[in-house]
Structure formats: structure tokens, C-alpha cells
Amino acid sequence: MRKLIAVVVIVLGFAFNTNAQDKMMKEAVKTVSLEQTKGEFTQKQITLSEGTYIFEIANTNVGHNVGFVLAPKADVKAHIKNAYVTAQVKNNTKETSKEVTLKKGEYVYFCPLNPTPQYTLIVE
């Protein structure tokens, strides 16, 4: 009987620990909401802390589909592909990216479909 109780305690302890870790990991992902209007993003610069993010892109009356590109400022052609929206953002809708883990540094974001200037994203 004691062995059975010990096994139950161990199993419950493991299950609790796994659930707590899952919850902490899910809470660590933050959403960054950005809005595009004709030829520009309304947010001109963003400062974030290191971490994991999902980018939510809103298309507000652009009149055609838009997208999202995030790249290190040092190499703008090295697009961070997980930051791409999972589908082009249709007029007056929103789409999201996959999860992106950002380290300290400077990045640029822009939309080649709109097109927009390159804006600065700083990770501290």
C-alpha cells in the first residue's frame, strides 16, 4: 500500500510540474499588434525586451493585401521567416505570424506589398 501511495504522489508531482512548465511557456509568448494604412505603419518604432513574440498585422483600408517582413538591421535581406504573416492580410482584416524569439539588437520591419518605409524595432 505504501508503494502505491508513493507512486501516486510521484505521478501527481510530475503532472503538476509539467502543467506549470507548459503554462509558463505559454505565458512567455507576447503579441505585438501593428497597423498598416496606405504606404505606412502607424507604429514608427518599437522597443521590446528579449523574448518570444507573435506579430499581429492589421490592414486598415490599404485597399489591397499586405504582408510583414522583419529582419536584422545589419542584414535587411536576412528575413526572419517566422515573422512573416501566415497569410497575406486582406483589406480590413488581421493576420498573425508564427512565434519569433528575439535577442538583443536592432531590427527593421516593413511591408514590400504596401510598400512602406523600413521602421526600427529595438530589442533591449
User: CB of 91 within 8 A of CB of 42?
Assistant: no
Looking at residue 92, its pLDDT comes to 98
Which residues on neighbouring strands pair with residue 110, listed in sequence order?
69
Which phi and psi (to 5°) does residue 57 adopt? -110, 125
Looking at residue 22, its pLDDT comes to 61
- Domains of the chain with bracketed CATH: 28-123 (2.60.40.420)
Cα angle for residues 34, 39, 43 (degrees, 5° grid): 30
The pLDDT tens digits along the chain (124 residues) read 555 555 444 544 555 555 656 655 556 999 999 999 999 999 999 999 999 999 999 999 999 999 999 999 999 999 999 999 999 999 999 999 999 999 999 999 999 999 999 999 999 9
Looking at residue 2, its pLDDT comes to 59
Looking at residue 3, its pLDDT comes to 58
Looking at residue 88, its pLDDT comes to 98
User: CB of 109 within 8 A of CB of 97?
Assistant: no
Looking at residue 4, its pLDDT comes to 52
